[in-house]
Structure 1
C-alpha cells in the first residue's frame, strides 16, 4: 500500500532489469561523475563539485552477476526440496544450530534424526529397475521397499529422480502410500532425502512423491503420539520442506492445544518446528505458554532456551510476563560463559522486542554483564548486543564503543546489513565512538568498494539507509547520495513491498541537500513532483480538534504552545508549522526584535505553502527567528539529556536555516505544577532563544491560572 503511494504504480522493471541490476549503482555514479543527467532530477543552480574522499565511488569494475542471489549469500539447495534457494547463511545456520542442540541431548534422540545417519538400512543390494507396468503389479510393500533400495543405491551411484526410468516407480509408490505401514512410510520419507536435488519442488517425479507423502503423513497424524509426530516432522526438516509442507503446519496447530501439558523437552521441540513454519497459532493463549515456560525454565539448559527464544522470535510472538522476562535475563547472565553465540543471538533478539520500559534497567544490567564477553563473540552476536537497547533507547557507551571498534577493523567482511544496523545504532544514540572517531568515513569508504556493488543492488534498502544515517550524523558524501537518489535505485526500492518506508528516507535525503548540501552539488535529485508527493505523504498533521483524538506528542505540543503564548503575550505571536517539511512532527515558531521583545510573525511567512521549506525571511530587518522543539518521550536517550540522532539533526538543520533553537524536554516539563512548567519553559528559552524573559513568568502564571479557573467554572 505505502509502496504504491510512494511512487505512481507502474509495471515492474522486468526480468531484464532484475538480472542486470548489478550495474545500477555503476550507472548512477557514472552519471554523477560525467554530469550526464536527466534535468528533471537536478535542483536549480547545482554545479559539479570535487570533494576529496566524497566523490570517489568506483565505477571501473563490473562484477559478474547471478540470475538470482547476491553477494555474501550462499547458493544452496534445500536438502531435498529440489529447489535452489538463495538464503542467508546465518538464517540457515540458526536452524541447523538449533537442531544440533536437540541432537546433542539424549532426551531428543528418539524424536529427531541425525543428518548423517538417514535411513541406515542396507536395501541397496536388492535395488531393481522394473518397467512401469511391472511396478504397477507389485504389492505396496514391494513398491516401497523397491524405492528404498533404489534410494540407498544413490549413495553409491547418484541418479536423477526425474529420469523417465523412475517415473513408473514414483507414480506407483505415490498411489499406494495409503496401503503401507507407518514404519515403511517413515522409511520412504527418509529415502527421498538420499536422492540428489532436482531442479525445483515442482519437477514431475519429485512433486508427485513429496505431495503424496505430505498428504499421507497429515492424514495419519492424529493417531500418532507426540513423539512420533515430532519424529516425522524432523524428517521433513531433513528434506528442507518444513516451510511448505502441510504436515508441519497442521502438526503445530494440533499440538498448540497441548502446550500447557507439554514436558520441558516437548515444549522446546514444539517451538523449534513452530520456528520452521514461522507461525504460532492464534488460538494459543500467550499467557498459558508463558506460564508453562516459567514452570520449566529451571529444567532446561541455556542452549534449549535459545531454541525456545528462536521459536518465539521467528513467529513474532513476544513475551509479556515481566516475571518471566526477569528470570530469562537472570538465567542468561548466569550462563554467559557457556552459551553459544547462536543461542545468545536468539535470546537477545527476543529480549529486545519483549522487555517493557518498566524493566529497562534489567537490560542495562545485562549489557554490563555482556561487556567482559564481547571479545569472544562473533560479529553476528555482537550486532545483536549493539541492537539490544535500541527499542528502549538504552545506551551503554562502553559496549557500543567496543563493538564499533571491532566492526571498524573487520569492515570488509561484514554483511551490508550488519553495516547498516551498526550505523543505525550509532545514529540512534548520536554517538561517535572515541576509539574510532572516523567510523562514519570508514563506512562511507566501504560502501564505495567495487566488491560491494552486487550486494548493494540486491539490498538497495540497506545501502540507502546507510547513506541516510550518515546524513543524519552530518556526513554528506555526494557520490553516495547521488547513487541513492538515482531513478534506477528508486525503482528498485519501489519494486519491493518490504521497502515501503523508504519514501520517507529518500525524501529526507533530498531536502537535506537543500539545507546542508554543498551549493555546487551536481548529483541526482528527486524530481520536484516526486518530492512534493512524498512530502505530502509523510508530513504529519498540525494538531487541532478534541484532545481525545490527538497523540501524546500532539497534546504535549499544544500544551507547550499555550504556555509559551502566555509568556510571549498572546497566541497571535506564535505558530505551529513544519519549518522542516521532511520531518513529521511540527515545531513552534515565534519572532522577537533585536531587544528580545516578541513581535508578530510576518504574513509572508505564515502564507508559505505547507510543503515548502520555511526559512527565516532575511529581508525583514531587526527580527530574530526562534524555533521551539517539543522533545517527546522518545526524543532522548534513556536516563539522559542527550538527544537521539534524528532529533539532534532537526536541531542542527533549524540552526542552519537561521533559527535560534530551544528544546523543551518532556521529562522535565511533564507531571509538574503550572509554575514549574513555566519555569521549565523559561529556562529552555533562556538557553536557546532570543526572547527576553524578564518579568514574563509571573504575568503568564496569572493569565493561565485565570484561564484554568474560568474553565473549571464552565465545566461546573
Structure 2
C-alpha cells in the first residue's frame, strides 16, 4: 500500500514546497502547509520499513523533505518545522541503509549527509520543471533551484568507487548543536584575537548553526570579529579543519553573494592556502584528497571563483591517463559546472583518455562526460567517438533516464560525421520508441538532434510535435522554438497543423511575457520560423519590430554586430508577403546597416584571406550564362533578398532576346524590396548549394530555400534553380547543356552566342 502511494506523497511535497516559497507570508497559510506535511511524514515514517525495493523513491522523497526545511520558508511565521527532524531521520536512515554508502566525516557530521540531500534522477525528473540553471533573488540572497548539474551529481554520488572523494552536503542541524540567544550574543562580542585556532573554528560552528534558520548573512557587523579571526587562523588549520570550515560555509552560501565581505575574505583565504599547499609539489594532496576539496568548492557554487580549482582541474586533466574511469567521470562533472576547459589543458589527451575508458563506463557516466564536452564547446577530433556514442544510445536507450538522454542528444547534435548518417537515422528511430516514457525536457534536443547533418526523420518530428502539444503548459518558449525549427528547416508537412496556432497563442499569453523579455532572440527566431512557413502573425511581428523592445534587449546602439539576421528577414518578408501589416518596422537607416552587414561580399572575393569553396558554383554559372547570353551587360549578380546568404544571378528576356540590365537594376545590394524594372520578363538563377537539400531524402528542399523562391516570385522574378548536385562534378560541355536546357523554353537560342551540341 505504501509503495503504491509513494509517488503521490512526492508530488504533494513538491507542491507544498512551492506553496511555502510563494504563498503570502502569513501564519495561517504556513500552519496549514506544516500540518499537511506532518501528516505525510507520519504516514511515511510508519510504513517506511515496508519498502525494500524502492530505494530510489525514498531518496527522492528525502530530497523533497530537505527542500522544505525552515531556512526556505519565510521566517515571519511562528510555525516551526523542527519537529520534522525525527520523521525525516527515519526516512533518510532507511535510504542510506539501502544504498550502503558510508560517511567520511563521522566525528563531525553525525549522519550520512551526502546521501540525504541528493536525489536520484528518476525522482527529480518528475518534479524538476527544467534542466537549465535558474537563480532567483529572494529577501536579498540567492535561492538555488534544482538544475541539470544537481541531477548529474546525483549520478556521480551513486558511484561507490568515489565514496572517498565526494564531500558531505549540509542538510539540517541537530537540536543538541544549537546554542541559546545569550550564548550567541556572547560569542559575537568575544575578542578572538588571542584565541586558539580550534576555539575559533568551534565558535564559528556554533554561530553558523545558530544562524541556520535566520536570514542575516556574514556581512552583518556582528560577525566581523569571528570572521577576521577565522581568516587569520586559516593558514594554521589542518586540511581536515579546512574541510570542516568549508562544510560550514554551505550554510552561508545561499545567503551570500560571492563578493560579500567576510564571506569573500574567508573563501579567498582558503583558496590562497590551498594553492600554496598544492604548489609545494611532492604530491602534497593525494588524488582523492584533491577531488574531495574540489567537491567542497562545488557545493559552495564557487568552482569558477576558485583559482585552486582551476589549477587542480588543469593538473588532473593534463594527466588524465592516470585517472581511473570513475575518477575521470568525477573530473568531467566539474567541467560540466565550469562550462569550459582551462586554456592550458590538452583536450586531445582528455579525448584519448575518454576513448580508452569508454568501455569501462556505464551509459549514465558516458552522458556526464559527453555533457562536459558539449558545455565546453569542444568537438571530438576522433570521429570514432561520436559513432560509438550513437551506437551506445541505440543499444541502451531503454535504460536511460531523461537527463542521460539529453546528454547523448546534445553531444550527437553538436557533432556527428555525415558519413555515418544511417546511425543517426537509427538514433531517431529509437527516440520515436522511447519518447512516450520520458518527460518533456527531452523534446527540444530530440527535435534538433539530426538537424546539423540534415538527416530528415518525419516520424520523429511528428512524435515531438505531438508530445509538445500535450505538454504545452510545461514547455519553455525556447523549447517551442526548437520544436518548430525542424518543421521549418525540413519544410515538413505537419500532421498537427494546430501547432502554429498553439505556439502563437503561448507566445502572446501574459504568463509568457517574462520569458519573452528574458530571451528576446527566441521570439525573433520563432517569428522567423513562422514566416518561413508562410505564417504571419501581426502581433508577434509587432513585438519583434518594436524599437523599445530592441533597445531593452540589445542595447541602445543597434547594429549588425548585436542584432540577429532573422530580424532583417522578418522586416523584408513582411514588406514582400504581408503588405497589409501596419505595425512597426525597422527604421530605414537600421535596415540599410543590416543589409550592408550581412550582404557585402561578392562571390570570388576573399573571406578572411581565404577563397570560399562554395563560391565556385556561382562563379562558374555566371561565366556560362554570360557566354550563353552574349555579354556581361545582360547578366547581373545582386542580393535581391539580402536576408538570404547567397546572391542571385538576374537577367531579362523580351521577345526571346536578352535585354541589357537597365541602370535602375545595377545595385549589388537592394536595401528595400525591389521589384524588377518593366523592360521584359525577369529571371533569377537561384544557386542551390548542397546545404539547401535534405541529404537523406531525394528532391526534398529545405524550408528557407522554398521561402526564397516564393519571395522572388512575389517580387516578379521567375526563379530558375541550379543545384550543386547536378553541376559540380560535370564536364564543361555537360554544364553548358544543363544551363541551355533550363532557359530553352523562354530564350530564342538562335540569338545566343554559344551553341551546344545536343
Query: Normalising TM by the smaller chain, what interval?
Result: 0.7 to 0.9
Task: Describe the SS at the equivalent of 1:306.
Answer: helix
Which residue pairs with 1:674 in the alignment? Answer: 732
Per the TM alignment, residue 118 of structure 1 is displaced from its structure 2 partner at its CA by 8.3
- Any conservation in 1 of the 2:169–2:299 contact (CA below 8 Å)? yes
Structure 1 residues 252 and 545: CA distance shift in structure 2, 3 A: closer
Structure 1 residues 654 and 437: CA distance shift in structure 2, 3 A: same
Per the TM alignment, residue 342 of structure 1 is displaced from its structure 2 partner at its CA by 0.8
User: What are the Cα deviations for residues 362-421 of structure 1, in whole angstroms up to 9, with x where unaligned?
Assistant: 222211222211111222212111111121122111101110122123223211111122
Worse-matched range after superposition: 207-216 or 122-131: 122-131
Per the TM alignment, residue 103 of structure 1 is displaced from its structure 2 partner at its CA by 0.7
- Any conservation in 2 of the 1:119–1:187 contact (CA below 8 Å)? no
For the aligned residues, what is the CA RMSD?
A: 3.2
Which residue pairs with 2:681 in the alignment? Answer: 624
Which residue pairs with 1:643 in the alignment? Answer: 701
Which residue pairs with 1:254 in the alignment? Answer: 315
- Any conservation in 1 of the 2:630–2:753 contact (CA below 8 Å)? no
Which residue pairs with 1:356 in the alignment? Answer: 417
Q: 1:524-603 residue pairs with structure 2 within 5 A?
A: 524-544=584-604, 549-594=610-655, 596-603=656-663
Which residue pairs with 1:105 in the alignment? Answer: 159
Q: 1:143 aligns with which of 177, 195, 200?
A: 200
Which residue pairs with 1:95 in the alignment? Answer: 149
Structure 1 residues 648 and 158: CA distance shift in structure 2, 3 A: closer
Per the TM alignment, residue 356 of structure 1 is displaced from its structure 2 partner at its CA by 2.5
Alpha-carbon distance in 2 for matches of 1:605, 1:75: 52
Structure 1 residues 608 and 184: CA distance shift in structure 2, 3 A: closer
Which residue pairs with 1:208 in the alignment? Answer: 265
Alpha-carbon distance in 2 for matches of 1:503, 1:195: 41
Worse-matched range after superposition: 119-128 or 486-495: 119-128
Q: 2:576 aligns with which of 515, 519, 530?
A: 515
Worse-matched range after superposition: 318-327 or 213-222: 213-222
Is 1:115 aligned with 2:178? no
Alpha-carbon distance in 2 for matches of 1:381, 1:409: 14
Per the TM alignment, residue 268 of structure 1 is displaced from its structure 2 partner at its CA by 0.7
Per the TM alignment, residue 540 of structure 1 is displaced from its structure 2 partner at its CA by 3.4
Which residue pairs with 1:221 in the alignment? Answer: 278
Alpha-carbon distance in 2 for matches of 1:292, 1:515: 55
Structure 1 residues 161 and 285: CA distance shift in structure 2, 3 A: closer
Is 1:188 aligned with 2:248? no
Worse-matched range after superposition: 118-127 or 163-172: 118-127
- Any conservation in 1 of the 2:168–2:247 contact (CA below 8 Å)? no
Q: 1:430-441 residue pairs with structure 2 within 5 A?
A: 430-434=491-495, 436-441=496-501
Per the TM alignment, residue 149 of structure 1 is displaced from its structure 2 partner at its CA by 3.4
The two structures have a TM-score, normalised by structure 1, of: 0.80
Alpha-carbon distance in 2 for matches of 1:119, 1:685: 83
- Any conservation in 2 of the 1:272–1:311 contact (CA below 8 Å)? yes
Q: 1:298 aligns with which of 341, 348, 359?
A: 359
Q: 1:315 aligns with which of 370, 376, 379?
A: 376
Per the TM alignment, residue 493 of structure 1 is displaced from its structure 2 partner at its CA by 3.2
Alpha-carbon distance in 2 for matches of 1:308, 1:113: 20
Structure 1 residues 545 and 498: CA distance shift in structure 2, 3 A: closer
Alpha-carbon distance in 2 for matches of 1:440, 1:597: 45
Alpha-carbon distance in 2 for matches of 1:694, 1:369: 58
Per the TM alignment, residue 213 of structure 1 is displaced from its structure 2 partner at its CA by 2.1
Per the TM alignment, residue 211 of structure 1 is displaced from its structure 2 partner at its CA by 1.9
Worse-matched range after superposition: 677-686 or 269-278: 677-686
Alpha-carbon distance in 1 for matches of 2:493, 2:559: 30
Worse-matched range after superposition: 335-344 or 207-216: 207-216
Q: Which has the higher contact order (CA 8 A, sep 6+)?
A: 1
Is 1:384 aligned with 2:445? yes
Per the TM alignment, residue 663 of structure 1 is displaced from its structure 2 partner at its CA by 1.1
- Any conservation in 2 of the 1:567–1:700 contact (CA below 8 Å)? no
Task: Describe the SS at the equivalent of 1:401.
Answer: helix
Per the TM alignment, residue 586 of structure 1 is displaced from its structure 2 partner at its CA by 0.6
Alpha-carbon distance in 2 for matches of 1:192, 1:143: 14
User: What are the Cα deviations for residues 129-175 of structure 1, in whole angstroms up to 9, with x where unaligned?
Assistant: 43555322211122122222333444577865444332211110111
Alpha-carbon distance in 2 for matches of 1:176, 1:589: 78
Alpha-carbon distance in 2 for matches of 1:633, 1:306: 32
Q: 2:294 aligns with which of 225, 233, 237?
A: 233
Alpha-carbon distance in 1 for matches of 2:253, 2:406: 33
Worse-matched range after superposition: 177-186 or 491-500: 491-500
- Any conservation in 1 of the 2:447–2:460 contact (CA below 8 Å)? yes
- Any conservation in 1 of the 2:642–2:669 contact (CA below 8 Å)? no
Structure 1 residues 701 and 181: CA distance shift in structure 2, 3 A: farther
- Any conservation in 2 of the 1:494–1:500 contact (CA below 8 Å)? no
Unaligned runs of 5+ in 1: 1-70, 703-716
- Any conservation in 2 of the 1:124–1:151 contact (CA below 8 Å)? no
Alpha-carbon distance in 2 for matches of 1:523, 1:261: 63
- Any conservation in 1 of the 2:554–2:562 contact (CA below 8 Å)? no
Q: 1:690 aligns with which of 708, 727, 746?
A: 746
Alpha-carbon distance in 2 for matches of 1:570, 1:247: 69
Q: 1:55-94 residue pairs with structure 2 within 5 A?
A: 76=135, 83-84=141-142, 92-94=146-148
Alpha-carbon distance in 2 for matches of 1:114, 1:186: 10
Which residue pairs with 1:336 in the alignment? Answer: 397
- Any conservation in 2 of the 1:303–1:339 contact (CA below 8 Å)? yes
Per the TM alignment, residue 335 of structure 1 is displaced from its structure 2 partner at its CA by 0.9
Is 1:270 aligned with 2:324? no
- Any conservation in 1 of the 2:595–2:643 contact (CA below 8 Å)? yes
Structure 1 residues 118 and 190: CA distance shift in structure 2, 3 A: farther
Per the TM alignment, residue 327 of structure 1 is displaced from its structure 2 partner at its CA by 1.5
Task: Describe the SS at the equivalent of 2:398.
Answer: coil
User: What are the Cα deviations for residues 112-143 of structure 1, in whole angstroms up to 9, with x where unaligned?
Assistant: 13435689997657986435553222111221
Alpha-carbon distance in 1 for matches of 2:399, 2:174: 34
Is 1:449 aligned with 2:509? yes
User: What are the Cα deviations for residues 547-596 of structure 1, in whole angstroms up to 9, with x where unaligned?
Assistant: 995412222101011223333344432221112233331101112234x4
Which residue pairs with 2:523 in the alignment? Answer: 463
Worse-matched range after superposition: 663-672 or 277-286: 277-286
Alpha-carbon distance in 1 for matches of 2:538, 2:393: 45
- Any conservation in 1 of the 2:216–2:255 contact (CA below 8 Å)? no
- Any conservation in 2 of the 1:428–1:644 contact (CA below 8 Å)? yes
Task: Describe the SS at the equivalent of 2:497.
Answer: coil
- Any conservation in 1 of the 2:500–2:530 contact (CA below 8 Å)? yes
Which residue pairs with 1:48 in the alignment? Answer: none
Unaligned runs of 5+ in 2: 1-128
Deviation >6 Å, runs of 4+: 71-75, 118-122, 125-128, 156-159, 496-499, 693-698
Is 1:327 aligned with 2:388? yes
Q: 2:537 aligns with which of 462, 477, 486?
A: 477
The number of residue pairs the alignment matches comes to: 619
Which residue pairs with 1:54 in the alignment? Answer: none
Q: 1:245 aligns with which of 302, 306, 312?
A: 306
